[in-house]
Amino acid sequence: MQFIDQVKVYVKAGDGGRGCVSFRREKYVPKGGPDGGDGGRGGHVIFKPSRELNTLLDIKYQQQYAAQRGEHGMGKNMHGKNGKDLIIPVPLGTLIKEFESGEVLCDLTDEGQEFVAAKAGRGGLGNSHFKTATRQAPKFAQPGEHGEEKTLTLELKLLADVGLIGLPNAGKSTLISVMSAARPKIADYPFTTLIPNLGVVKYGDFRSYVIADIPGLIEGAHRGAGLGFQFLRHVERTSILLHLVDISEMKEGDPVENFEKINKELELYSPELMKKPLTVVGTKLDIKGNGERLDRLAGYCKDRGYDFFPICAVTGDGIKELMIYLGTKVEEYKKS
């Protein structure tokens, strides 16, 4: 399935029905008086989040939505039927913004939420409402109100407890495939991961947390370089950042410099990201060589107070300890 996380959409609520101009006509009842009924309310346009969706793909291919209009009033004081509300399901974590101003109208983070994006027009009153002592046969009624119409931007920010970040080929996809049932594409070339992947990690009896694999970041990502920039918004939702650094002897560049490069990109994108709890993971322990790169990164993390875990996703070394540690941290974060 194609991953779509930002779309433009036009919504139009239903117009209200017209009020009716009618007069009572019955045998032996002369001058029965006005009996025009009211028009029905139009339908609202409502966005409702669902856990069953994880992309805005359906909305990308249908970008115009119009709710049903209300029926017109009828004689004998019969009211028109209300228009049916149009409910549009979206993934959890969807932001709804004004297209022109970018103002955030609603953040749909709970499954029970509903957001009325466009309010329906009210139905017009029938002529029976306008009868007075001096105007006993009104020959007019109200038209229905127009429903609201808006152009909106829908932006999806995945909801996850732990976000995996790092340079391309740092081992993020391999780690999430080992820790969860997620099956992302894994290969030995950069930018294998083209879209974020979610996985559920079980670390105890009836305990779990959600982990997100974000496409690899590179220097200049905050300006749009590479693939990671367009997915950095998903990191903003996470409770904990897990920074993966390749410590293998085959990796070019100093591990500490690589770590600092990505941290700098996160800070330039949003300083708030640097306030999140950050844990460092040294990957590919099985090909660490003489261990010089591992020792350098471990010492750097110790000096700066970062929790550090050396692991090998292929052999499973350090994986269980990391899973339990993350589960504990997620629980602590949710209680704080």
**CATH number of the domain residue 254 falls in:** 3.40.50.300
Buried-state track 76-106, b at ≥16 Cβ within 10 A, e below 16? ebbbbebbebbebebbbbbbbbeeeeeeeeb
Token reading at 327: 């589960």
Mean pLDDT, residues 227-245 taken together: 78
Mean pLDDT calculated for residue range 159-184: 84
pTM of the full structure: 0.71
CATH code of residue 79: 2.70.210.12
Please tell me whether residues 245 and 187 are part of one structural domain. Answer: yes
Residues 258 and 272 in one domain: yes
Task: Write out the residue range of the structural domain in which residue 199 sits.
Answer: 162-335
Pair 126, 177 in one domain: no
Length of the chain: 336
Same domain, 213 and 104: no
Verify that 172 and 318 share a domain, yes or no: yes
| Residue 165 exposed, middle or buried by CB count within 10 Å (0-12, 13-18, 19+) | buried
233: confidence class by pLDDT, cuts 50, 70, 90: confident
**Are 66 and 204 members of one domain?**
no
Answer with the one of 131, 156, 181 that is the final residue of a domain: 156
- Mean pLDDT over all residues of the chain? 87
CA distances to 40, 94, 97, 128, 206 from 6, in Å: 35, 9, 11, 49, 34
Whether residue 50 contacts residue 91, with contact meaning beta carbons closer than 8 Å, is answered with: yes
Question: Which tens digits make up the pLDDT trace of 273-313?
Answer: 888 899 999 999 988 887 899 999 999 999 999 999 999 98
* Whole-number pLDDT of residue 229: 56
**What's the pLDDT at 76?**
92
| Among 122, 156, 190, residue at a domain's last position | 156
Mean pLDDT of 185-210: 70
pLDDT at 192: 52
- 281 and 202 assigned to the same domain: yes
In the predicted model, what is the mean pLDDT of residues 4-23?
94
Please check whether residues 132 and 2 belong to one and the same domain: yes
- pLDDT for position 1: 45
Place of tokens 């995945």: 158
pLDDT band at residue 230 using 50, 70 and 90 as cut-offs? low
pLDDT in tens, 198-210: 788 888 777 888 8
Categorize the per-residue pLDDT at 47 as very low, low, confident or very high, splitting at 50, 70 and 90.
very high
Shared domain check, 189 and 65: no
In this prediction, residues 41-45 reach a mean pLDDT of 97
Q: Are residues 135 and 205 in the same domain?
A: no
Asked if residue 42 and residue 87 are part of one domain, the reply reads yes
pLDDT of residue 185: 61
What's the structural domain count of the chain? Answer: 2
- The domain boundary, picked from 136, 156, 176, lies at 156
Predicted pLDDT at 120: 97
What pLDDT does residue 257 have? 92
Domain check: are 244 and 218 in the same one?
A: yes
Question: Identity (one letter) of the amino acid at 254?
Answer: D
